[in-house]
Structure 1
């Protein structure tokens, strides 16, 4: 029997913590249906808190612990539950404050325990140094702040789930389900994991966060030059311009603009402009029934085929596929 621990911190996302355990319970139920009711369960679990005491979820529900971090006895895997933050700056500060209580995770990992986390909990692993030198993903809306704060992590932000050297990371919020299916697959096989996904209606082909992501709003840009450049690009999306022209408008050299832009955002100005244009194209595809030619013109592409190519490269979906999946437009006049 495989023992999986779920670590819950104060202010955790209750759905992630209890939902992870629900997935393990579902795996046991499916297994018994296949192997017989007398079959031994494949999984057992424990709810762990830093000191063994109860914690409250972000919505006020209280969770009772089975053990403290110091008391758990060599679990096969541990999922760190995500914590409730939607501001990157506050999240990073909270992770820094939580670092001392997460120190036992290093010894737990060194003892052979597989560590797993998704969404905001990936920041906790990074703050503890457990992602240094590893490939990892995180929630799309904190990827720029994450990359800036943790440069030693090999961030693969588009991926929904990444496993590297005994650590599994997942993307935003409900990606914990994909992370748990990864653990079920590892310990119980592909067939059982797939059947659990079907029973629970989890899309196993959801490999990328790219269709869901927009440029992060949580990071605070403190460079006034970059702020001015961002504002100018946002209001001139339709126009063709060079970055030499933009640098001239801002009264700096192109080299200075590129250097300070990359230092602040993680992108060079051309990459950032492409993200802005694709984000606006997403918004138009979601909220209007404009034809692709009109969408392309509004975001600065004279040729719809160019938008189609760059859109697919960025989101892993064609514009028509994206519109089918995310459209909320009933009226072509909605903007």
Structure 2
């Protein structure tokens, strides 16, 4: 399947958002090609357009990174997305002045929507969608800075502020410029399916446990809690993820008695040190299954387990999938038939810092 994203560019746009979209699509194309080596070409294509629908030239350095266009004739309307970035604004009156100069953009948005194409917007770009009539009777989100005004100005729109992205049929909105990556993941889900969306989520979006787990390689990243006992215990567990669990050893590292450690850890983290260690180990296993080709026994050992059935049972309870099922569904790597297995995992194992344990 080919999907083209048309990036609507105008004099008032937040141009950085457009670059964020391009970077996200380029990264996803790499993930797609790793997962689907037999399929030629990129999944997503993009172009910069003006309000009349004319393609605009890209800078040379950016044009070289764009995959060849599949051509208009090969795309159905449902395979085309119009992305509307936010516009510069100082206040609501200032925004209204900008909107008064956007009649061509409003016509473009309405035209795309009427043709059955997907329409997406970020930040206050949702206001343009609302002005064009695209959001009538639909759920949408917008930046919190103008939420009250938006609700009053567009009573036919069901304003939803509970999450970064709102999807209603073929219309996608994100409330903040920084949520554009989340918005792209929802577009990936729409066009490429749940499994590729999860792969994109794992690779592109912030995941607290993964960043905390990474602190075993970069101790400076680890976020201190107010309770230094818990911080020392977590730091020790992160640095000894492969070591057989011993409450006494963790307590000694935290300079506390086992009973005191258990009480403090439960208060701060809502779990025991062993539960926390299991979470770290499962998160590491997920990363290894996603990005390496090493066998399940090695995955288990890298995660500090010696009993295969116990590891499988814990992984299944945590993720709802067995390790083998998880790898089949979310791997970012292609079949070992196309790689030398000993080389395929080494670079990524080194990247995860596991070679230093």
Which segment is superposed worse, 137-146 or 8-17?
Answer: 8-17
CA 1:88–1:45 in 2, change beyond 3 Å: closer, same or farther?
same
- Indicate how the Cα distance of structure 1 residues 32 and 47 shifts in structure 2: closer, same or farther if over 3 A, else same: same
1:84-119 CA distances to partner (integer Å, 9 max, x unpaired)? 224222113312331343213222112110101011
Q: Which residue of 2 aligns with 1:115?
A: 119
- Within 2, Cα distance between the matches of 1:173 and 1:53? 23
- Equivalence for 2:21: 20
Distance in 2 (CA, whole Å) between partners of 1:110 and 1:14 is 26
Quote the Cα distance in structure 2 between the aligned partners of 1:96 and 1:83: 12
Aligned length in residues: 198
Provide the alpha-carbon RMSD of the alignment: 3.3
Of the three residues 190, 193, 199, the one matched with 2:197 is 193
Structure number with larger C-alpha Rg = 2
The DSSP-based 3-state class of the residue aligned with 1:47 is strand
CA distance in 1, matches of 2:184, 2:84: 11
SS at 2:135's partner residue?
coil
Match of 1:91 in 2: 95
Could you list the runs of 5+ residues in structure 2 that have no partner in the other structure? 67-71, 210-225, 227-267, 270-357
- Verify: 1:103 aligned to 2:120, yes or no: no
1:143 aligns with 2:147: yes
TM-score, normalising length: structure 1: 0.52
Rounded to whole Å, the distance in 1 between the matches of 2:107 and 2:20 is: 25
Q: Following the alignment from structure 1 to structure 2, what is the Cα–Cα distance between the partners of residues 160 and 38? A: 32
* Distance (whole Å) between structure 1 residues aligned to residue 153 and residue 207 of structure 2: 31
**Are the counterparts in 2 of residues 23 and 177 from structure 1 also a CA contact under 8 Å?**
yes
Indicate how the Cα distance of structure 1 residues 115 and 35 shifts in structure 2: closer, same or farther if over 3 A, else same: same
Residue among 121, 134, 138 paired with 1:134: 138
In the superposition, the TM-score normalised over structure 2's length comes to 0.49
Taking the aligned partners of 1:203 and 1:82, their CA distance within structure 2 comes to: 26
Query: 1:41–1:204: structure 2 CA closer, same or farther, 3 Å change rule?
Result: farther
Instruction: Kindly indicate whether residue 40 of structure 2 is the aligned counterpart of residue 44 of structure 1.
Output: no
Per the alignment, do residues 10 and 53 of structure 1 end up closer, same or farther by CA in structure 2, a change over 3 Å counting?
farther
Match of 1:160 among 152, 157, 164: 164
Which segments of structure 1 move beyond 6 Å, counting only runs of 4 or more?
A: none
C-alpha distance in structure 2 between counterparts of 1:99 and 1:155, whole Å: 23
Secondary structure of the corresponding residue to residue 133 of structure 2: coil
C-alpha contact (below 8 Å) 1:92/1:123 kept by paired residues: no
